[in-house]
Amino acid sequence: MDSTGTLFMPPGRSTIAGDVDALFNFIMYASLGFFLIVVVTMIYFVIRYRRRGADATTPDLSHNLKLELIWSIVPTILVIIVFFWGFNLFMKMSIVPHDAYEVKVTAQQWFWSFSYPNGNTTVNELTVPAGRPVKLLMSSQDVIHSLFVPDFRIKMDVLPNRYTMTWFEAPETGTHNLFCAEYCGTSHSEMIGLVKVLTSEQFDKWLEEGESSGDGMTPAEYGQVLFKSKACNTCHKVDGVAHTGPALNGIMGISHKFTDGTSIVVDENYIRESVLNPQTKIVEGFQPVMPTFQGILSEKQIDALIAYLKSLEK
Ligand code: CUA
């Protein structure tokens, strides 16, 4: 990722970025100008008109029409400029071009999943073609999240029970950071991902191949890949330290105690159930916050994850 941003902005990598930056810079430098006018004048007046003795009196001033007109009219013109400039840009960012490529975005605590028109699904990684508008149709499974890609200058809330949308067009290939920009609970800060912009040929090839199917890997190796690519590692660590969820190394064959007082010896069926119906059994000391991975993981992938967990030492 190159880093030719400015002091105030990351590099602009979408067709809209230049317009956003221009308006931002206008507002910032205008504000800076007025800040200087106010502060410099203030300091000058404090010195020039300071009280010079016990019998110094304040002159009797009522008003100054010229001055009052200037400080009313000039700011009014400026805010009118900012309004029309901003409204124009807002409309440009809100109206999705007709030929946009549509990706369905689902946010949940605490990861992003992206579904493509051909059925591909990725987690925490949005892959898009360069030079083509991309529409993101977004909804949340739980609380309010916000999709934020600083390099594209787009940020849009993602809500439960309704769709929101945003769009962008990235002219060049590259990789960009994606963040959740709305506090959504314990692991909000880890609800991050990448946007990968490919050439349209690379993108078509990527669509066709889909995600890695684990060919040429052992089930445990494939499971390790999935543990990261499906974002299990956001909440579960494998170094023995509990995070949002329990640590998952060396859990096979040990006894887990649940919040309802029952307990079970961890086996394949328990892990499978925990992935597909995470709310059924909650390990003591943890919150019932895990989302279901039903429809996100295939049977083969669940097998691979179980093989991976079995391979981990305590
Ligand atoms: Cu999702 Cu913050």
* Atom number, ligand 1, closest to the C-alpha of residue 180: 2
Residue with CA at minimum distance from ligand 1 atom 1: 145
Q: Are strands 121-123 and 111-115 parallel, antiparallel or unpaired?
A: antiparallel
CA distances from 281 to 9, 242, 288 (A): 46, 17, 9
CB 165 within 8 A of CB 156: yes
**Of 179, 187, 182, 177, which Cα lies nearest the Cα of 110?**
187
Number of domains in the chain: 3
User: Going residue by residue through the chain (314 aa), what tens digit of pLDDT does each one get?
Assistant: 345 677 888 889 999 999 999 999 999 999 999 999 999 999 999 999 888 888 888 888 889 999 999 999 999 999 999 999 999 999 999 999 999 999 999 999 889 999 998 878 888 999 999 999 999 999 999 999 999 999 999 999 999 999 999 999 999 999 999 999 999 998 899 999 999 999 999 999 888 876 667 777 888 888 888 888 788 888 888 888 888 888 888 888 888 888 888 888 888 888 899 898 888 888 888 888 888 888 778 888 888 889 898 888 87
* CATH number, domain with residue 86: 1.10.287.90
Tell me: do 109 and 172 sit in the same domain.
Answer: yes
Residue 86 lies in a domain: yes
The answer, yes or no, to whether any atom of ligand 1 lies below 6 A from the CB of 234, is: no
Tell me: do 253 and 285 sit in the same domain.
Answer: yes
Domain span at residue 136? 101-209
The answer, yes or no, to whether any atom of ligand 1 lies below 6 A from the CB of 178, is: no
Residue 292 lies in a domain: yes
Say what the pTM is: 0.73
The answer, yes or no, to whether any atom of ligand 1 lies below 6 A from the CB of 158, is: no
* CATH number, domain with residue 295: 1.10.760.10
The answer, yes or no, to whether any atom of ligand 1 lies below 6 A from the CB of 138, is: no
CA 104 to chain centre: 15
The answer, yes or no, to whether any atom of ligand 1 lies below 6 A from the CB of 191, is: yes
- Give me Rg for the CA atoms of the chain: 28
* CATH number, domain with residue 127: 2.60.40.420
**CA angle, 92 then 98 then 101, to 5°:** 100
Beta bridge partners of 87: none
The string of DSSP letters for 70-109 reads HHHHHHHHHHHHHHHHHHHHHHHHHS--TTPEEEEEEEET
Tell me: do 107 and 187 sit in the same domain.
Answer: yes
